[in-house]
Structure 1
């Protein structure tokens, strides 16, 4: 994880019309990353903000 960014391998993201892939996302608030670490499986929401794919929420998967 780089400051304000995270690389995620994800499934389809219907609201972004995005197929499964691995990609770097911006993070709406870098504090969101404090609850996850490299290798964690996570649940997240993302949106396109000013042209950048941005994680809006993220939490470790149960």
Structure 2
């Protein structure tokens, strides 16, 4: 199982989703999609989190 930092609980369907299993989509608003991604639940499609994926 992944570390708790790498998992997200879906508030819509209750699934516990590893970051590697989440669907990725472009972020909302003015966030740069090369730097930020939105993680979506693979079961119901709800938004789980927006995460930084750019260079630090």
* Common topology (TM > 0.5): no
Larger radius of gyration: 2
- What TM-score, normalized by structure 1, do the two folds share? 0.30
- What TM-score, normalized by structure 2, do the two folds share? 0.31
Q: Which has the higher strand share?
A: 1
